[in-house]
């Protein structure tokens, strides 16, 4: 996968993770399925790491 496709994927994963975290705060601890908690814990950091990786890789000088 090229780095130009990695950044939008990272942004999408991060957005989904943050949306899950916001849903946790709105709904409280009760009433949410376990996958919402898993999404909040896993997608946001994974999306952030993928976005940083893509930005660093795109900024490297081509030789």
Question: pLDDT tens-digit profile of 1-50?
Answer: 655 788 999 999 999 999 988 888 888 767 778 888 888 889 999 999 99
pLDDT value of residue 58? 86
- Using CA atoms, how far residue 15 sits from 10, 18, 45, in Å, is 8, 5, 10
Cα angle at 41 between 43 and 44, to 5 degrees? 35
Q: Which residue has the higher pLDDT, 62 or 6?
A: 6
Q: What is the pTM of this model?
A: 0.80
pLDDT value of residue 35? 84
What gap in Å lies between CA 32 and CA 41, rounded to an integer?
14
What gap in Å lies between CA 63 and CA 12, rounded to an integer?
30
């Amino acid at each position: 996968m090229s780095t130009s496709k990695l950044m939008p994927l990272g942004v999408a994963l991060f957005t989904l993770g943050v949306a899950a975290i916001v849903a946790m705060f709105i709904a409280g601890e009760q009433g949410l399925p376990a996958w919402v908690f898993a999404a909040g814990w896993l997608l946001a950091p994974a999306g952030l790491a993928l976005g940083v990786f893509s930005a660093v890789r795109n900024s490297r000088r081509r030789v």
